[in-house]
Amino acid sequence: MVNTYDNIKQGERGAWISIAAYLVLSSFKIFSGYFFASSALLADGFNNLTDIVASLAVLIGLRISQKPPDSDHAYGHLRAETIAALIASFIMAVVGIQVLVEAVRSFFEGAKEVPNLWSAGVAGISAIAMIGVYRYNRNLARRIDNQALMAAAKDNLSDALVSVGAAVGIIGAQFGLPWLDTVAAVAVGVIICKTAWEIFRDCTYSLTDGFDENRLSDLRSTIARTPGVEGIKDMKARIHGNHVLVDVVIEVDPDISVLEGHRISDRIEEQMEKIHNIMSVHIHVEPKASSS
């Protein structure tokens, strides 16, 4: 568990980087949006403000997940990072809906002022910066297998795409199509809502103990190939933070000793750790029923 908690501390660094980036970029975008009269840039900036709250939720979740097991949480608090990602998805969904409502309302207001071309440059610079933050958090999340940080990385990517869309809308408005700026703001809302749904879907799948059937089949094959295992009666797996918990009922030769049954269990644990990096396997040994 020491390595797990060390990895979570590394995840905190990614959350802090996101918060710092959002603080700088949201201030830059909101000021530029008002100054250059760009509704898309303003929507992007206010989205980044809320992203700060989402990143703080991720940070708090990572802090809680580092707490060791106690009398009420025998498996530890690792699922706090999944809950943090779920909260982040709710916050993103609220912002996405707000942006869509404001964009539609703006569209029916009538004549619109053409945004200054400089606002497109602001959006472009912001997109490049956010892609850098996304790549850092994505790579770190993959390396430490952290669901909350991966949710933050997806948020980073959606923000980068939002800025690209804003720049496209602003540039289009320069060619006599000012409504494109509003269309870009609608695209902002749609992207935010889509990303929120994807994070929500993944989190609820984990929290309801969903587990990929193909991955479970791979785990089952590894156990079935372990010397001494003559059958698998039942097998389940679930996600707990960045850990996989496996419960399996194996069948063995009924004539072997308790000690040999224990050795077979040890070999299964060694194989699961070596091949799949799974260190929590609960094994129940039963005698194989006679075929006669």
What's residue 110's pLDDT?
A: 58
Q: Over 50: is that where the pLDDT of 1 sits?
A: no
Domain 2-207 has CATH 3.30.1330.40: no
User: Could you write out the DSSP letters of every residue in the chain?
Assistant: -HHHHHHHHHHHHHHHHHHHHHHHHHHHHHHHHHHTT-HHHHHHHHHHHHHHHHHHHHHHHHHHHTSPP-SS-TT-STTHHHHHHHHHHHHHHHHHHHHHHHHHHHHTT---PPPPTHHHHHHHHHHHHHHHHHHHHHHHHHHHT-HHHHHHHHHHHHHHHHHHHHHHHHHHHTTT-THHHHHHHHHHHHHHHHHHHHHHHHHHHHHTT---HHHHHHHHHHHHTSTT--EEEEEEEEEETTEEEEEEEEEE-TTS-HHHHHHHHHHHHHHHHHHH---EEEEEEEEPPP--
Q: Please report, for the chain, the start and end positions of each structural domain, with discontinuous segments joined by +.
A: 2-207, 213-287
What's residue 184's pLDDT?
A: 75
Domains 2-207 and 213-287 are alike in CATH topology: no
The pTM (predicted TM-score) of the whole model is 0.74
Distance CA 157, CA 174 (A): 26
Q: Per-residue pLDDT tens for 12-57?
A: 788 888 889 888 988 888 888 888 777 767 877 877 877 788 788 8
Fold adopted by 213-287: Alpha-Beta Plaits (3.30.70)
| Average pLDDT of the residues of the chain | 83
Q: How confident is the model at residue 2 (pLDDT cuts 50, 70, 90)?
A: very low
Distance CA 229, CA 219 (A): 14
Q: Which residue has the higher pLDDT, 171 or 282?
A: 282
Q: Per-residue pLDDT tens for 231-289?
A: 999 999 988 877 788 999 999 999 899 999 999 999 999 999 888 888 789 999 999 87
